Amino acid sequence: MSVRRSIVRGVGGYLPARVMTNQEIASRLDTSDEWIVQRTGIHERRIAAEGETTSDLGLAAARAALADAGMGSDAVDLIVLATSTPDQTFPASAVTIQAELGITRGAAFDLQAVCSGFVFALATADRFLNSGEFRCALVIGAETFSRILDWNDRSTCVLFGDGAGALVLEAGEQPGERTDRGVLTTHLRSDGRYRSKLYVDGGPSTTGTVGQLRMEGREVFRHAVGMITDVVEDAFKATGYGAKDIDWFVPHQANKRIIDGSAHKLGIAPEKIVSTVDRHGNTSAASIPLALADARVDRRIKPGHLVLLEAMGGGFTWASALVRW
């Protein structure tokens, strides 16, 4: 019996031109390249230029994804943008991208689940495509975290960077077999008891300011691997797949130690990990689609490959998805 699935047609990424190295940060703060590399695996990150907005980044990634799909923007009837750093409090930055792409039909909205945002957005778009309400979605993760960092706080400012990535998803019939292409399963979790472990100390209804990122890094780290492996096990249970079936593991890129620890606990071989944290730092909701774009550019991910996505971040939120390319 055939089933309707959300099939990946294209992927694209965009990084601002400006590279900020660890050495540059160490020249003005009490930190070192050695500490940052040892504790996080990060060597450098990108920083958006003055006036370069989250929607600019997201638009460039969306255009790259549409070009990769060989599709025009007229095919798109849904845009879900995962971001915690929108251009403005409202309207959604997704509508700016929609307007720049010349799309006047369908719907565009932002979704906020911090570093898990891209997987939440993928799950949301997948449901709309499966229900038949929309046919072709741009799922975008775009962030300018450099704008909400406290550049005097060495425990957070060394970790994050700016960037954007996007997927084009199109609804299509598949045979309903193990070889089906598309989004096979998604699993979303949140637990607001942990909301003060990683947050921004401002907002429209509290301070009336944008605020800056605050994090108890050690506490986030302590929970990360357990939450990630739990939600990946949920994806395995739902599909009958296991670690040995995975072709590529594309995790949220927060810290190399968290990525390697999660892969090890799940029994996923190191050579299956797609990692960009060394060059991008943590780009929050943009990190997974940026890593996917990286693996697309060098043609590591091929049609038919089974790709495991996972993320964990502020809220706490955590999520997984299994996608057959």
Task: Tell me which residues touch ligand UT7 (CB under 6 A).
Answer: 31, 35-36, 39-40, 115, 154-155, 158, 198, 217-218, 220-221, 224, 254-255, 258, 282, 312-313
Q: How far is the CB of 27 from ligand UT7 (least distance, A)?
A: 13
Cβ proximity to ligand UT7, 156 vs 186, nearer residue: 156
Annotated catalytic residue: which of 115, 157, 187, 255? 115
Among the listed residues 144, 143, 111, the one whose alpha carbon sits nearest the alpha carbon of residue 126? 111
Q: CB–CB of 80/121 below 8 Å?
A: yes
Among the listed residues 48, 133, 63, the one whose alpha carbon sits nearest the alpha carbon of residue 98? 63
Q: How far is the CB of 216 from ligand UT7 (least distance, A)?
A: 8
Provide the token pair at 66.
């549409």
The verdict on whether 115 is a catalytic residue reads yes
Cβ proximity to ligand UT7, 6 vs 282, nearer residue: 282
Segments in 189-286 forming alpha helices (H): 217-239, 256-266, 277-280
DSSP string, 42-106: --EEEEPPTT--HHHHHHHHHHHHHHHHT--GGG--EEEEE-SS-SSSSS-HHHHHHHHTT--SS
The verdict on whether 282 is a catalytic residue reads yes
Cβ proximity to ligand UT7, 8 vs 42, nearer residue: 42
Tokens 């638009």, residue located: 59
Annotated catalytic residue: which of 22, 252, 255, 280? 252
Cβ proximity to ligand UT7, 45 vs 324, nearer residue: 45
CA–CA distance, 170 with 89 (Å, rounded to integer):
30
CA–CA distance, 160 with 245 (Å, rounded to integer):
32
Cβ proximity to ligand UT7, 6 vs 212, nearer residue: 212
Q: How far is the CB of 255 from ligand UT7 (least distance, A)?
A: 4
- Residue number closest to ligand UT7, CB atom: 217
Q: How far is the CB of 134 from ligand UT7 (least distance, A)?
A: 29
Q: How far is the CB of 190 from ligand UT7 (least distance, A)?
A: 14
List, in sequence order, every residue forming a beta bridge with 220; answer none if it has no partner.
none
Query: Annotated catalytic sites, by residue?
Result: 115, 252, 282
